[in-house]
Each structure stands twice: as structure tokens, then as C-alpha cells.
Copies of this chain bind each other. A is one copy, B any other.
Amino acid sequence: MAAHVIDGISLASRIKSEVAQGVRQLQARAKAAHLTAILVGSTPAGQLYAQRQGEACAAMGIGYELRTFEPAVTQRELKTEIRRLNKDPAVTGIMMHLPLPAHLDRARLQYEIDVVKDVEGVNPANLGYVLYGRTLIAPCTALAVLELIRSTGVELRGAEAVVVGASEIVGKPVALLLAEQMATVTVCHIATRDVPAHTRRADVLVVAVGSAGLITAEHVRDGAVVIDVGINRVTCADGTKKTVGDVDFASVSAKAGWITPVPGGVGPMTVAMLLRNTLRGAQILAEQA
């Protein structure tokens, strides 16, 4: 039987409608949501990404400013800028585009971002609050994964959840969010002896590795929920390029119960989660004011 395909675009669209409504409610109280993004070094790709982010914010009624810095900017200069943004009452959200040049200490800069304005949920304290089951603002991709699973209606309590990929920004936070929902969670990674032995017993399988077609039907349990976080550009036999996930969609979709497509799954939901986090920060600040 073919799996239900989880429509990330449609789900993201619904969440964005809710965000836009939330922003209007803030505006009715003379409050605004405003995201300031920091970009170090200006590549065409980085500029394009930031431009699209600005458009996504504008569509929600969220103000957006991109602050670009030279690649030689110092740790101290960025720290000073972040502290200035923390204090600026007109700025309700702060994010820092990655990667940063090698001379900058990413985690220490993320630690400087006010926990409420940290719309990406990357301040170590926000990750610690997730571990404490006291989530304030969690990492966007991890939230996207959780929302996509929840949209299936599958019971997470007691479910066997397996996360392949132990990255700081996806695998580990996803594992904590799933444990918070009382799933039994296993995290596999490059050193795991027998990945298929784990994935085959998963009721819920999250794959975030960055390796095209890594997971095939033989890795997946009948009826499982499969969330594919991978985004890989591959060259087809005819020389054209396309974007695929870490999951071999053709074979796995014939066996799984639910599956996210790539593109159109986790990607659009991650953008929606960033916007929702931005609203959430602005709402908390509005309550505090």
C-alpha cells in the first residue's frame, strides 16, 4: 500500500496564516514583530537567501532588516552588535546566518542572543530548556520535524522513534523533543554498528544525514512514519539536476505509512517554524512590556 505523503507546503501555509493573524493581533495593540538578520560575508547565495527571508517576513507583516558584515569582522564586534540588538526594543527577533568564518566562535555568539529574541532556537540556553522539557524557543528544523509527525495523528507516547544523524541542530534536538513526547528514542550516526537493525524497528523514523538515497525500503518498517530532513542535489542519468532527500522515496513510499517528500516536506515547514518563532518572541516581549 502506498504511504500517505505528508504535504509540508500545505501545512506550512496553514501555519503561516496563523502567524500572519498573530502579527495582526499584535499590531492591533500597537506592537510589532521585527526580525534582524546578521550576515557575515556577502555571497550571491547568501544575499538571495536573505532576500527571500525578507519577503517571507513581509508576507506575514513582520519587519525585516539584514545587517551585513565584512568577513574580517571580529568576535567582539559581533558580540557588541548582538548586545545592541538585544537592548533595542524595536527588534523582537535576531538570527545569524551560518556558516561563519572560521575565526568566529559560533556557539559563544549564539549564547549572546537574548533567549526570547533567539528565533532560531540556537542559544545553548534554549537547547537546555528543551532538555528540561521547558521549551521556550526550539530550533526550527527540529520543530518542523515534530509538527510533521504530529500532523499524522500517530501516537508518540511509547512509540519507538529512531533518529539517524546526531547533528547539534537537527538530530539531537529532535531526539529531545521526541523524548518530551514520551517516545523511546534512539540516535544513530556514523559510528553506529548496525543502522538497519535500528531503523527497521522504528515506528517513527527521522533521517537527517545529507546522503542521497541512504534509506531504502529494506531499512523501513511497514507503516512507519518517515521524516526526511536531507536535501541533496544529484545529477540524473540524463545530465539534469534534481533535489532529493536521504530517503529513497520510490521504494520507501511503497512500504511506509507516512512519508515527507523532498522538496515539499521539511523545507517549507522549517521556514514556517522560523516565522512562528519570530511571532512567539514578539508576543512574549509584548507581554513583558
Contacts and interface: CB of A to CB of B under 8 A. Distances in A.
Interface of A: 107, 111, 123-129, 131-134, 157-158, 160, 166, 168, 172-173, 175-176, 179, 182-193, 198
A168 B107 contact: no
A128 B126 CA distance: 7
A131 B134 contact: no
A193 to B, nearest CB: 5
A107 B126 CA distance: 11
Given A111-B125, A128-B124, A176-B172, A193 B184 contact: yes
Contacts of A187: 175, 179, 184-186
A188 B184 contact: yes
Contact of A129 (B124, B175, B193): B124
A120 to B, nearest CB: 13
Contacts of A183: 191
B132 A127 contact: yes
Contacts of A176: 131, 172
Contacts of A189: 179, 182, 184
Contacts of A173: 131
A71 to B, nearest CB: 23
Contact of A191 (B134, B184, B192): B184
A123 B132 CA distance: 10
Given A185-B186, A186-B186, A179 B158 contact: no
A184 B179 contact: no
Contact of A107 (B132, B158, B184): B132
Contact of A172 (B107, B126, B131, B184): B131
Nearest to A162: B186
A192 B158 contact: yes
Which of A134, A157, A183, A187 is the most central at the interface, judged by chain B CB atoms within 10 Å of its CB? A187
Contact of A134 (B107, B126, B134, B190): B107
A179 B185 contact: no
Given A125-B128, A173-B131, A192 B184 contact: yes
Contact of A168 (B132, B175, B188, B198): B132
Nearest to A183: B191
Given A166-B179, A184-B187, A184-B192, 16 more contacts: A124-B125, A124-B126, A124-B128, A125-B128, A127-B131, A128-B131, A131-B172, A132-B168, A158-B191, A158-B193, A160-B193, A175-B187, A184-B188, A184-B189, A185-B186, A185-B187
